[in-house]
Structure 1
């Protein structure tokens, strides 16, 4: 669309403003159309009722040659009660009704005009006492009498507002009210529907103004037509259109302004997020977006964005720390390798020196390879790329074998290594090699950080279907503020920096335990030392 090629028109605020303006315009159009047609139909309905009264009165006077009794009002024949129709059937055979009238003051009295055997009849009946009176009317054409009534009604209604016309079947004028010759010629040539004895309504335009025309064919073929001017209605509708047009433009502008202001408020949170994203993209991960209460959706977007930026900042800091630690841990063996190689190249050319140098270089390379492999294993375990190979084995026997492997280092430091194991086997279904790595790392750390003469306590228990395995020592301990950090890569507590290690062992333990669906915690052991507890639910073999 055209607005996507420009800056301003492609904004969400502009589109919302245009949408609001269109919505206001549509609503305004619906209201205008409803009011317009309701007003028009209301005027036409009022005009039709008026013309219907005239038409029924004049039809009565034309057929009977008598003045219409205003105490009676015309009613549709279908509204004549069934009791009245049964009385007529009993009294007169072959009666064909033309029109019906009911007394306004006494709804039990009716007058009906109709034909019987080609003769015009007038029936008068009272349902209250079932009285009945029939009169044969001599219809010799009462156009002269109707002409007097036309003149009288034209004088009362006002010339030019209402007209009356009686035409013969040959379109000769039998009686008419005074009106312009061109209108008379138009009405004589008008296409009146043949064979329609019911009242027909239509709108005609013989001149500058519209007219409402009501006509009815009488039983002798004559056409009685009555019309009223719609000039007043048309003027009212024209004023209504003018009013709506005058008020519609300001409403459209107000709708656009309201849409712009609302869109500006709603989008302000998104604008702040975009500006913050630009700053963050430049490298400042400390920036956060503040919520201003633009709505729950915008607030949720801001919270999610801030959480994402916080996670990214943490990830970047950890990556930076990991890179620094990797560089530090790799720089030391590489420096030693470089030093030994330079020394061998510049020293005495002896085979023994070369062999020792190659051996030292191989040892340092092994250390670097072990470091890289451990980092890769931690990453693959945390990401789920390492498949857990489950097998059935005795966890108690595995711990006993692991303790036996570390019994010699413990004896060398005169440490007491104690095992507290269940009396019965603890059968589990899990990756035995991974759990051996967990036990080996925890035992290695406990012995390494416990001074000579200390104690290392290994305990295994089963409680409520959960395996609990703990390793406690009497070593240097871990400060409370450092405990959440010790499972991060390359993190080393202050008390352990003087001892050998790379800070990856506990990270690997945490990754394996988490992948197995368990958890690991650390707590202090009084007076000194630490206790690592591994909980593994749902691993007991069935």
Structure 2
């Protein structure tokens, strides 16, 4: 169970749904409030429009309380806008407030209702010109539903009758202050707001279902290849490098699958090289060890006469030297590959070095009646490299050329300058290398079957060492060959510019 909750699918779906719910909850909280505020603003504007009509009526030439025309205007405005109009006047400085109401017959009446102290104070504040902003449910003892009210102070003409000393009545208009309240029902807002809540709730449920399906498909597209790679990785761990991930999408997952398959293929190649390495080294070590053991046993049990001991001891020594050379080559190659051998670069004349090395092969060349040719485009050619390592490269190439050429064949060594590089080529007219073996000539212990027949004493490490030396120099070596027509190796080295310029002068 814990493993399931920690899975990518669960995390992906959980994160997606969490974001979805957060957005929907935000919408559910904000949208109805925005919508409600919109209706409130709309109703407030309607109330403010009625306010202008009331102001003109109250400030007219007559007392609105006795003027039937004013009463009709107020009643018509209230019913047309479906609102309640209160005009509150006070007759003394105390809370003796009289309220004149206008509105529909179904409107709440204030006549028989006792106002709460808070409501009385609100009316008194408005009369004193303090005003009241749009307020919901300002008079709960009067209105049972949700009501929006605004209040403002308004002057009005009051007809005053005064009895004179002679018993006559004198009438005049006096300006007084009243509190006008406009009330409008908000119950019609609750219906669309409630509908909005239902729509948001339905949208949340629908989007949750759709999102779950979409997330399921998306997560499968991600998790399926991940599971494939996981299973392939387990197979590789168990030694099965043939397991591949069958994904061909044109996205990052597809790129990852291709990289994984490439890695598996390279691991398979490495494993094959390791197996071949063990097989080859076992074969190459077993042959001389078998000879050494056989000759020693023969000498110990008397099979070999005493007078022949020296002869066979020399064979044993040769085989021992062969094993020592092979072991040293393996160690040297391993150090080179691991970067444990530093290069000691210097400037030297590679033409001179080649000639000196060739002199060391003079006897073998004469024994096979080979022709050795030198083609130097200039008398001296200075390069910058590790002298000992390049000597080993040239030695191995000449040694191979001699091994795989027959009597009367020709070996040629050429040096030249192309661009900013010195080119060295070692070519022969010997047996050549078949097309199948050519790509593998620089691999450890690689020997073509024909080569094994011709060179039973070779270790199969010479060209691998040559390749690694050139790699350590960050230079290139190439081989071209055609079976029955010969082989050519070409490698490059950096020039020692200053010295070459001096030589040219």
Matches within 5 A, 1:13-92: 13-65=9-61
Distance 2:361 2:127 in 1: 119
Structure 2 residue 94 is matched with structure 1 residue 164:
no
Q: Which of 366-375 and 334-343 deviates more?
A: 334-343
Structure 2 contact 225–247 (Cα < 8 Å) conserved = yes
Q: Which residue of 2 aligns with 1:241?
A: 197
CA 1:172/1:406 → structure 2, altered by over 3 Å: closer, same or farther? farther
The Cα of 1:298 is off from its aligned counterpart by 0.7
Q: Which residue of 1 aligns with 2:152?
A: 216
Matches within 5 A, 1:195-206: 200-204=133-137, 206=140
Q: Which residue of 2 aligns with 1:371?
A: 326
TM-score w.r.t. structure 1 length? 0.77
CA 1:17/1:526 → structure 2, altered by over 3 Å: closer, same or farther? closer
Matches within 5 A, 1:292-331: 292-293=248-249, 295-331=250-286
Structure 1 contact 143–174 (Cα < 8 Å) conserved = no
Structure 2 contact 298–304 (Cα < 8 Å) conserved = no
The Cα of 1:151 is off from its aligned counterpart by 4.3
Q: Which residue of 1 aligns with 2:451?
A: 496
Structure 2 residue 449 is matched with structure 1 residue 519:
no
Q: Which residue of 1 aligns with 2:238?
A: 282
Residue-by-residue CA offset, 1:353-374 (whole Å, 9 max, x unaligned): 8877776555433322221221
The Cα of 1:19 is off from its aligned counterpart by 2.6
CA 1:156/1:423 → structure 2, altered by over 3 Å: closer, same or farther? closer
Q: Which residue of 1 aligns with 2:377?
A: 422
Structure 2 residue 465 is matched with structure 1 residue 529:
no
Residue-by-residue CA offset, 1:370-403 (whole Å, 9 max, x unaligned): 2122122223323433211111111111111111
Matches within 5 A, 1:463-482: 463-482=418-437
Structure 2 contact 440–446 (Cα < 8 Å) conserved = yes
Q: Cα RMSD (Å) of the superposition?
A: 3.0
Q: Which of 361-370 and 209-218 deviates more?
A: 361-370
Residue-by-residue CA offset, 1:274-315 (whole Å, 9 max, x unaligned): 22222232222122222242x410110011001101110111
SS at match of 1:7: helix
CA 1:172/1:229 → structure 2, altered by over 3 Å: closer, same or farther? farther
Which runs of structure 1 show a deviation greater than 6 angstroms over 4 or more consecutive aligned residues? 348-358
Structure 1 contact 55–225 (Cα < 8 Å) conserved = no
Q: Which of 392-401 and 183-192 deviates more?
A: 183-192
CA 1:309/1:155 → structure 2, altered by over 3 Å: closer, same or farther? closer
Residue-by-residue CA offset, 1:405-446 (whole Å, 9 max, x unaligned): 112210121111111123331111110001000110000111
Structure 2 contact 288–319 (Cα < 8 Å) conserved = yes
Residue-by-residue CA offset, 1:81-132 (whole Å, 9 max, x unaligned): xxxxxxxxxxxxxxxxxxxxxxxxxxxxxxxxxxxxxxxxxxxxxxxxxxxx
Distance 1:47 1:494 in 2: 101
Q: Which of 260-269 and 433-442 deviates more?
A: 260-269
Q: Which runs of 5+ in 2 are unaligned?
A: 102-107, 156-175, 499-505
The Cα of 1:323 is off from its aligned counterpart by 0.7
Distance 2:434 2:304 in 1: 52
CA 1:171/1:474 → structure 2, altered by over 3 Å: closer, same or farther? same
Structure 2 contact 441–447 (Cα < 8 Å) conserved = yes
The Cα of 1:190 is off from its aligned counterpart by 3.3
Q: Which residue of 1 aligns with 2:356?
A: 401
Q: Which of 526-535 and 142-151 deviates more?
A: 142-151
Q: Which residue of 2 aligns with 1:334?
A: 289
Structure 1 contact 492–503 (Cα < 8 Å) conserved = yes
SS at match of 2:239: coil
Distance 2:85 2:285 in 1: 113
CA 1:218/1:446 → structure 2, altered by over 3 Å: closer, same or farther? same
The Cα of 1:263 is off from its aligned counterpart by 1.1
The Cα of 1:183 is off from its aligned counterpart by 8.0
Distance 1:483 1:348 in 2: 45
Q: Which residue of 2 aligns with 1:190?
A: 122
Distance 2:415 2:388 in 1: 18
Q: Which runs of 5+ in 1 are unaligned?
A: 67-140
Residue-by-residue CA offset, 1:302-356 (whole Å, 9 max, x unaligned): 1100110111011110110011001111112222333344344434999988877
Distance 1:388 1:176 in 2: 111
SS at match of 1:64: coil
Residue-by-residue CA offset, 1:255-274 (whole Å, 9 max, x unaligned): 22221122112322222222
CA 1:156/1:391 → structure 2, altered by over 3 Å: closer, same or farther? closer
The Cα of 1:167 is off from its aligned counterpart by 4.3
Q: Which residue of 2 aligns with 1:130?
A: none
